[in-house]
Amino acid sequence: MNIILLGPPGAGKGTQARFLVEERGMVQLSTGDMLRAAKESGTEMGQIVADVMDRGGLVTDEIVIGLIREQLETVKANGFIFDGFPRTLAQADALADLLAEKGESLDAVIELEVNDEVLVDRIVGRAAEAAAAGQSVRADDNAESMKVRLMEYYKKTSPLIGYYYAKGQLTKVDGLGEIADVKAAIAKVLDS
């Protein structure tokens, strides 16, 4: 089973993806994690994307589609969780093609719904908590870049909600509840 977790930054996609990895043995493909790894290892691609990421903008379709293609070619899995990908209609089309080439299907698109005010609080709170605990804070976890990330989401990613709805693949889950409740709601979708 292959699924997409869709939702704005801070909606809890990463948290829920980790549960699915632990409990169902699925493989999480997070383009954000891949790009951060590229940035940290100082690869040429990492240097190219660093600025855009820190400002909260979207990295080019070509780069992220390339990353996903590579993973789909090399990693074997019972099921993939696409986390933070696709983020544009071009990426969604590319994913459909890549899956079709492999003879794989897309089984569900789960939209985690949250409101903007809660999101900004969550992201800024995540940065403050990490700083207090002496952990490293994501370079893009601050109010300024958060605004850009939200704007990018509404301009470029939110059209995917209509796209997957029209394909009959979208299910909405309330992302504002307790983490365990969100988890249960996702399990219900996957097991139905």
Binding residues for ligand AMP, rule: CB under 6 A, are 9, 31-32, 35, 52-53, 56-59, 64, 84-85, 87, 91, 140, 149
Which of 39, 149, 156, 183 is an active site residue?
149
Instruction: Return the closest-CA partner of residue 75 out of 67, 65, 86, 64.
Output: 67
Question: Alpha-carbon distance 60 to 76, whole Å?
Answer: 26
Closest distance of CB 130 from ligand AMP, Å: 14
Is 55 labeled as catalytic in the residue annotation?
Answer: no
Degrees to nearest 5, angle at CA 162 with 2 and 140 = 70
User: Which residues, in sequence order, are CB contacts of 164 under 8 Å at separation 6+?
Assistant: 4, 6, 92, 109, 111, 170
Is 13 labeled as catalytic in the residue annotation?
Answer: yes
Identify the three-state secondary structure at position 159: helix
C-beta of 58 vs 114, nearer to ligand AMP: 58
Which of 18, 55, 69, 126 is an active site residue?
126
C-beta of 84 vs 175, nearer to ligand AMP: 84
Question: Alpha-carbon distance 21 to 98, whole Å?
Answer: 22
Which of 13, 36, 122, 156 is an active site residue?
13
Is 126 labeled as catalytic in the residue annotation?
Answer: yes
Closest distance of CB 185 from ligand AMP, Å: 21
Is 155 labeled as catalytic in the residue annotation?
Answer: no
Beta strands in 23-155 (DSSP E): 27-30, 80-83, 108-113
Which of 39, 87, 156, 183 is an active site residue?
87
Is 149 labeled as catalytic in the residue annotation?
Answer: yes
Positions annotated as catalytic residues are 13, 87, 126, 138, 149
